[in-house]
């Protein structure tokens, strides 16, 4: 069964909705001031405190922020970091924090996704848009994603980029990822989740294979 992460959560009620829907992981963003889903680390800690056992808590952030706030991130006790920045910094932080690391990769940049992949626990794809680190809401090239999934195996591949209840089942069948990740595709407005979309997304993703 494909695992599901609901990302960009900003409210307790949205965390509760994602958990009730059966999400395997929930994501919180910090360190990206331009994002409407960006939160302070203290707010992330509050929301993570509302996540029950057996649901993974993922902090989506940068190597720079974690390097400056290592103590605060450690006290937060995330299950994984989705970490944007230099791979060398990521490896150092992994040793300090003892958490799993997810490496983001933008499809279409020409960057070598396989380099240093052994230092990470999973790779998450997204769609390249100039000047953006990710979270664009644009659908990825699923053929390229499937090829990348095969190249990095057995490292788990997480598919994101423009996923929503209308296309997630087809994406799972085409790419066969370890997990899928949605944010804007399950929202009523930027940063505010739509409960019906969250429930539909989880159900359709989990039942696609």
The DSSP result for the chain, as a single string, is --EEEE----SHHHHHHHHHHT-SEEEEE-S-TTSTTB--HHHHHHHHTTPPTTSEEEEEEEHHHHHHSHHHHHHH--SEEEEES-HHHHHHHHHHH--EEEEEEEETS---SSTTGGGSSEEEEEE--TT--S---PPP-HHHHHHHHHHHTTS-EEE-SS--TTTHHHHHHHH--SEEEESGGGEEETTEE-HHHHHHHHHHHHT--
CB contact at 8 A, 9 and 27:
yes
* pLDDT, mean over the chain: 90
Find, among 17, 23, 16, 19, the residue nearest to 1 by Cα.
Answer: 23
Give the domain extent around 129. 3-206
Share of the chain above pLDDT 90, in %: 73
User: What pLDDT does 126 receive?
Assistant: 80
Q: Is 126 part of the annotated catalytic residue set?
A: yes
Measured CA to CA, the distance from residue 79 to residue 122 in angstroms comes to 13
Mean pLDDT lowest among 19-23, 104-108, 137-141: 137-141
Residue with tokens 């994602």: 18
Tens of pLDDT, residues 2-48? 999 999 999 999 999 999 999 999 999 999 999 999 999 999 999 99
Q: Is 145 part of the annotated catalytic residue set?
A: no
User: What pLDDT does 135 receive?
Assistant: 54
What mean pLDDT do residues 67-82 have?
A: 94
Tens of pLDDT, residues 198-209? 999 999 999 987
Measured CA to CA, the distance from residue 164 to residue 155 in angstroms comes to 24
User: What pLDDT does 130 receive?
Assistant: 47
- Report the residue count for the chain: 209
Q: Which two tokens stand for residue 110?
A: 């020409």
Annotated catalytic residue within 14, 24, 126, 181: 126
Q: State the Cα torsion 206-171-81-134 to the nearest 10°.
A: -150
Residue 137 has pLDDT above 90, yes or no: no
Count of domains in the chain?
A: 1
What is the domain-level CATH number for residue 40?
A: 3.20.20.70
């Amino acid at each position: 069964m494909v695992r599901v992460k609901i990302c960009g959560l900003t409210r307790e009620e949205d965390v509760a909705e994602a958990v009730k829907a059966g999400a395997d992981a929930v994501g919180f963003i910090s360190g990206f001031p331009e994002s409407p889903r960006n939160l302070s680390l203290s707010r992330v800690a509050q929301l993570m405190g509302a996540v029950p056992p057996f649901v993974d808590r993922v902090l989506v952030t940068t190597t720079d922020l974690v390097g400056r706030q290592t103590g605060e991130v450690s006290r937060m006790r995330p299950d994984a970091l989705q970490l944007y920045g230099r791979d060398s910094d990521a490896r150092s932080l992994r040793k300090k924090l003892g958490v799993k690391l997810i490496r983001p990769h933008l499809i279409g940049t020409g960057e070598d996704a396989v380099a240093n992949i052994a230092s990470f626990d999973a790779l998450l794809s997204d769609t390249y848009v100039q000047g953006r680190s990710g979270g664009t809401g644009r659908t990825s090239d699923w053929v390229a994603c499937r090829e990348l999934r095969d190249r990095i195996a057995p490292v788990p591949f997480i598919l994101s980029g423009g996923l929503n209840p209308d296309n997630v089942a087809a994406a799972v069948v085409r790419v066969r990822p370890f997990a899928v990740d949605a944010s804007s595709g399950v929202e009523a407005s930027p940063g505010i989740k739509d409960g019906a979309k969250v429930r539909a997304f989880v159900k359709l993703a989990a039942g696609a294979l």
